[in-house]
Amino acid sequence: MGTKIRLSTFNCENLFSRARVLTLADAAQRIDTLDRLAALPSPPRKLQMAALARYVEFGGGGIRHRRANLPAARQQAKAQVLRAVNADVQCLIEAESRLAIDAVNQQHLGDRFPYSMLIESHDPRGISVGLLSRLPVISLRSHLFDHDHHGRLFERDCLEVELALADGRPLYLLLTQFHCSDVEGARGDTWRRRQAAAAARLITRRYDLARDRVAVMGDLGDSPQHAPQTLAPLLRLEGLHDVLALQYPIPDDRWTCHVRRNEQRDYILVSDALRAAFVEAGIERRGMPDLRRNSIASEQPFAGVTGPSRCASKHAAVWADFAA
């Protein structure tokens, strides 16, 4: 078999970092250190900085908090999922910053990915869509400011990325997270349908699905079986195919999340042109909490995933291989 390329999407749930001082386990020490930091003059004296250098650094006219990834057990579990998937192009949902995804790449993935990208979203929690890629990034187009007559469409973006395949041909990705189905009832359903319709319009306007290699990747926030069917404008778009439906004829075998129930919320949708190169797809669930209880196929979690505080995410990673 010839060379393959693997695409993957993973809602890694809060791939965040925070000020290192906040990782202090002792509450009294944490409060004391924060008080000392708050009392620092600008610029601080060298003696003061030496005492607090573990937590802050001074430069560029101000004091910056040193960052730390958190929590360690969950970071390790997320890294286990990413190592197991071993993708060439990895979409990361709910990442905080490019620094956060670069830290995972450098500390846990052996610097596998030379290219990384994240554009900060509108979400007040700092939730954004990120990308790690072994393929060169050629161009980006954000849709953070797209509107319809109801208002803003993509709170967490629908990021268009053009990558270069080894033979120079382009691979087009749309990376996104839609509004979650278990929030705000009918309003959430309406917003998600707006997003699905907007993504479908974007695809048909910019791409020829018979010719262009296009993949929509991310957490679409709902399942194909849920009523009302909010994802229909995108899932039923002619020339676009769900790789999990190609791999698993039975819908129950496609589940990627059990927030509300075991259901598919994570997708790689591919154009006719990319489907022609499809080899196989799969779901990496071993980082999920309570996998033994929720699995219908006697799946076992990674050895270190012993509960919610040590799991990678409530979502599984989805991957698909294509002939390059």
Measured distance CA(117)–CA(140) in Å, rounded: 9
Bridge-based pairing state of the strands 170-177 and 214-219: parallel
Residue of 257, 176, 270, 263 whose CA lies nearest to 227 = 263
pLDDT of residue 182: 54
CA pair distance 288, 177, nearest whole angstrom: 19
Distance CA 254, CA 267 (A): 10
Determine the topology of domain 4-16+70-323 in CATH.
Deoxyribonuclease I; Chain A (3.60.10)
Domain ranges of the chain: 4-16+70-323, 18-69
Of the candidates 276, 267, 194, which has an alpha carbon nearest to the alpha carbon of residue 239? 276
Confirm if 56 and 65 have CB atoms less than 8 A apart. yes
Q: Residue 172's pLDDT is what?
A: 98
Please state, for a pLDDT cut of 90, what percent of the chain lies above it.
61
The vertex-83 CA angle with 79 and 84, nearest 5°, equals 115
Neighbours of 150 (CB within 10 A): 9
pLDDT of the residue at 180? 67
pLDDT confidence of residue 17: 62
Q: What is the reported pLDDT for 1?
A: 42
Q: Is 311 helix (H, G, I), strand (E, B) or coil?
A: coil
> Mean pLDDT throughout 33-48?
72
Q: What is the pLDDT of residues 305-319, one digit of tens each?
A: 988 889 999 999 999
Check residue 117 and give its pLDDT.
96
Looking only at the bridges linking them, the beta strands covering 89-95 and 4-15 are: parallel
CA nearest neighbour of 131 among 15, 284, 298, 52: 15
Q: Residue 190 to residues 25, 185, 193, 229: CA-CA distances in angstroms?
A: 43, 9, 5, 10
Residues in the chain: 324
User: Token pair of 306, please?
Assistant: 């012993």
- Residue 22 pLDDT exceeds 60: no
Mean pLDDT of the 126-142 span: 95
Q: How distant, in Å, are the alpha carbons of 30, 63, 64, 68, 319 from that of 48? A: 17, 12, 14, 21, 50
Query: What is the C-alpha to C-alpha distance for residues 303 and 290, in angstroms, rounded to an integer?
Result: 12
Tens digits of per-residue pLDDT, 152-202?
999 999 999 999 999 999 999 999 999 865 556 778 889 999 999 999 999
Could you tell me if 10 and 285 are in contact, meaning their C-beta atoms sit under 8 angstroms apart? no
pLDDT at residue 20, as a whole number: 64
* Confidence at residue 183, expressed as pLDDT on a 0 to 100 scale: 58
